[in-house]
Structure 1
Amino acid sequence: MKQMKQRLGIFLLVITAIIPLPIHTLAAENDFSSPASAAFAVDYDTGKVFYNQNADEPLGIASMTKLITAYIVFDEIEKGTISWEDKVPVSDKLKKMSKNPDLSNIPIKDKHDYTVKDALEASLISSANSLTSALAELISGSEIKFVDRMYKQLDDWNIKDGYLVTASGLGNEDMGKDIYPGSKKTDENLLSARSMAIVAREIITDFPEVLEIASSPSRAISDGTTIWNSNEMLPDFDYYTEGVDGLKTGTTPLAGACFVGTAKRGDQRIITVVMDVDPEYSRFQETANLMNYVYDNWSYKTVLKKGEPSSQSTISINKGKKDKASIVLTEDLSVWTKNDNQNIKLFFEPNKKQLTKKKKVNAPKKKGYIVGSEHVYNTTDTLGYLTKEEEIHDVSKVALKTDIERANFFIQIWQSITKR
């Protein structure tokens, strides 16, 4: 069992339900900041990081946890082990919890049979804790066993900084006596902002239907209850922001106000995370600020197009009719860069396995033979990518533009004499 390395403190979360929260004033474009313990923004398709403010420290994630649980629910449905219309048993303990006004829930009606569809929608839209725990019990027999399944899912995503104790994001203090083995009464779920962005991208990629649920301002479930979305960035809400169609809020005294959001404008989808936002500010306004900052200041620029010469326009030929041959890109080469920063550099890297020790191409070879790679990078951009594996996005293969023919025997002798 996983052990908590340090005792976690409990912080008072100040909630201002009536007085409007102040709007955080943005700093200059090159000095953006967020009044949060962590803030992170990343491109969905390429994994390019646009903003990183303490994104690698594990912090409380509260109900953002429910995205991990939802992923497992979608996975079980896809495998056929459960179905949307299966009934979800709700224990007396969870029914009692559902009526606790201090916890996010919908009151469970005693004689009503809730379906998997009901429970997942309530979990993702209104952040219902009791029905989330009921889903965990349906799938694994107990919430404790389900947490083990959640750990396995994190391992599958190569996420190593997670600490989990519940399926819903509630802390152990709200779970009674049945807490995760080895954990303390004060423990809650922890994850870094970077890892939370990975979770969001995984569920959107594998189960894009999550957006259809998460983007619903409200829905009626089978017991007749209308559930309202806790995401106030959707249409007709106070913090409506262009393109936002998800994803999940989270709030506990330890975690503070959190939100993992996603928006799509044009062809570009981004994922943002804000964690433990200063209570004087709105997590939704801060997310909007971060999203607007990304869309206003970052662009994906094509530096070289397919078929254009590499930065090293030719390569030497060994035993060929010609000394050199033209080399070109096999695909467009693009790079993310801030609009006010054009410090872009190119360099050609030969493929040693394809060349001689003197970095020449042995003739004969056909057009399209790969001789190396063209790399592009911004000399002042240190943000990198969501994962190390994704840094290949700034690379294009380079190949021979035309066929190269082998020189005849006499020409090869002459080349040897002249050391060409």
Structure 2
Amino acid sequence: MKQTKWYSKLIIITFITFSLPFQTLAANDNFTVSANAAFAVDYETGKILYNQNGDEPLGIASMTKLITAYIVFDEVNKGNIAWDDTIKISDTLKKMSKNPDLSNIPIEDKHVYTVKEALYGSLISSANSLTSALAEHISGTEIKFVDRMYDQLKIWGITDASLVTASGLGNEDMGKTIYPGSGKKDENMMSARSMAIVGQHLITDFPEVLEITSLPSTTILKNSTKDGIEIWNSNGMLDGFYYYMEGVDGLKTGTTPLAGDCFIGTATRNGHRIITVVMGTEEGFNRFEETGKLMTYIYDNWSYEVIKKKGAPADKKTIDVHHGKEKTADIILAEDLAVWTNKEDKDIKLFFETTKKQVTRKQKVAAPKDKGYVVGKEYVYNTKDTLGYLTTEDEKLDVVDVVLKNDIKKENIFMQGWHWLTRS
């Protein structure tokens, strides 16, 4: 987003004034999550609501499967593959599917998986072999698919990722074929912030993913087995599970020895969806309990406040008019102006700035103009907030257009001449 120079300087000064390490900022210093990293963001606005070491790349384990899922949805959307396409599963992947130490659905020769069923197995049961099979179906090899994953992350502006598999398994579990240039013990790494960006894009572009991730269980392979195979979701916060929490409908768990227990969750309450990321839960603590604590903290302490309603006067109530019958014109907000605030720590400030293309060099509106004509922007910010936004592009939601309240008419040519003479 293109922000004004003044606004950009203001944000920089605010950050310097607080002079706190960005990766450890939280709205309430007394609240912590028992994990190596924790992060929370408002899905719609990208406002960061909690950041505990959220910028350090850590193991993401099977949370990786969300990147793979995005590419699967994208390929179907482009018509390159179809949901009912059957996928070939190699003997190597079939053998891997029966490894009791890995998360999988055992695959038999008689099992015929469609793209849709494989994706369900990947997202619900975290089936590693089916995820790799999807990668091979799309790109020919998993190595080529990892390249595709990197390309997708680049589009999203994510640069801190280190990937070796489509599923989240480490190289130690992949046998002799590993991603070029990677080490034998390498695993997928990414920051909690970047993981939240993945979740935000997945839900935005393919919201139907929530129809899958919200399922406590489902039955697949109805066409190639007698009764099908029932699979259960690894997300313990869904309805009917021990850690159930109202509004939770995704997204993905992850576990490896390096990454520890991880979980990227999402929930909707009071009309607002949030995305949370908990990585490397500390020993003796549960990732779902810690996610529940984080979600409760966000919903209890943060609110999306409408600071000014649509039609309210701008911070500067009028603007000067050039060659108008009136010297000034009333200006109002074109829509509601709102911002996320923490009840413990807020100091709301507003400022108005004209839009250069719509006004003269002397900051006047040249008559005639109809009501609703955009003359500038109204910004809102919380001087106490040091958490910022998921991306700089998200900041645009803290600004609205300011428009003319009424039509402004041009003065007649004789009055224009008189004003010109008197100014000389």
Same fold (TM over 0.5): yes
Distance in structure 2 (CA, Å) of the matches to 1:141 and 1:48: 39
Partner of 1:9: none
Distance in structure 2 (CA, Å) of the matches to 1:328 and 1:187: 56
Q: Which runs of 5+ in 1 are unaligned?
A: 1-26
Distance in structure 2 (CA, Å) of the matches to 1:85 and 1:333: 46
Q: Which runs of 5+ in 2 are unaligned?
A: 1-25
AA of the residue aligned to 1:44: Y
Deviation at 1:73, TM superposition (A): 1.4
Describe how 1:138-177 pairs up with structure 2 within 5 A.
Answer: 138-177=137-176
Partner of 1:184: 183
Deviation at 1:417, TM superposition (A): 6.0
Partner of 1:96: 95
1:369-398 Cα deviation digits (max 9, x unpaired): 221111111110121111101101111111
Partner of 2:130: 131
1:323-371 Cα deviation digits (max 9, x unpaired): 2111111111111111233411111111223222221222222222221
> Please, which of 347, 351, 364 is the counterpart of residue 351 of structure 2?
347
Find out whether 1:257 has 2:261 as its counterpart. Answer: yes
Contact 1:29-1:293 at 8 Å conserved across structures: no
Partner of 2:113: 114
AA of the residue aligned to 1:317: V
> Please, which of 204, 211, 229 is the counterpart of residue 225 of structure 1?
229
Contact 2:27-2:50 at 8 Å conserved across structures: no
Describe how 1:4-15 pairs up with structure 2 within 5 A.
Answer: none
- The aligned length equals 394
Partner of 2:74: 75
AA of the residue aligned to 1:321: K
Partner of 1:7: none
Distance in structure 2 (CA, Å) of the matches to 1:396 and 1:321: 28
Distance in structure 2 (CA, Å) of the matches to 1:54 and 1:29: 15
AA of the residue aligned to 2:299: Y
Find out whether 1:247 has 2:251 as its counterpart. Answer: yes
AA of the residue aligned to 2:288: F
Distance in structure 1 (CA, Å) of the matches to 2:403 and 2:109: 69
> Please, which of 377, 380, 386 is the counterpart of residue 382 of structure 1?
386
Partner of 1:276: 280
Partner of 2:194: 195
AA of the residue aligned to 2:396: I
Distance in structure 2 (CA, Å) of the matches to 1:81 and 1:405: 57
Distance in structure 1 (CA, Å) of the matches to 2:27 and 2:318: 43
Distance in structure 2 (CA, Å) of the matches to 1:74 and 1:373: 37
Contact 2:98-2:104 at 8 Å conserved across structures: yes
Contact 1:314-1:324 at 8 Å conserved across structures: yes
Contact 1:247-1:261 at 8 Å conserved across structures: yes
Superposition RMSD in Å: 1.8
Contact 2:381-2:398 at 8 Å conserved across structures: yes
Deviation at 1:108, TM superposition (A): 1.4
Describe how 1:254-333 pairs up with structure 2 within 5 A.
Answer: 254-333=258-337
SS at match of 2:252: strand
TM-score normalised by length of structure 2: 0.89
Pair 363,259 (structure 1): closer, same or farther in 2 beyond 3 Å: same
SS at match of 2:379: strand
Partner of 1:401: 405
Distance in structure 1 (CA, Å) of the matches to 2:27 and 2:416: 63
SS at match of 1:93: helix
Deviation at 1:85, TM superposition (A): 2.6
1:269-300 Cα deviation digits (max 9, x unpaired): 11110111112111101111111111111111
Contact 1:315-1:361 at 8 Å conserved across structures: yes
Deviation at 1:41, TM superposition (A): 0.7
Deviation at 1:50, TM superposition (A): 0.6
AA of the residue aligned to 2:185: T
Contact 2:27-2:345 at 8 Å conserved across structures: no
AA of the residue aligned to 2:232: W
Pair 215,349 (structure 1): closer, same or farther in 2 beyond 3 Å: same
Contact 1:118-1:221 at 8 Å conserved across structures: yes
1:153-200 Cα deviation digits (max 9, x unpaired): 112222222111101100001101000011111111111111111111
SS at match of 2:375: strand
1:188-216 Cα deviation digits (max 9, x unpaired): 11111111111111111222221111111
Partner of 1:42: 41
Describe how 1:355-366 pairs up with structure 2 within 5 A.
Answer: 355-366=359-370
Deviation at 1:409, TM superposition (A): 4.2
Contact 1:342-1:378 at 8 Å conserved across structures: yes
Distance in structure 1 (CA, Å) of the matches to 2:199 and 2:232: 21
Partner of 1:4: none
Distance in structure 2 (CA, Å) of the matches to 1:95 and 1:359: 70
Partner of 1:24: none
Distance in structure 1 (CA, Å) of the matches to 2:175 and 2:153: 26
Contact 1:264-1:270 at 8 Å conserved across structures: yes
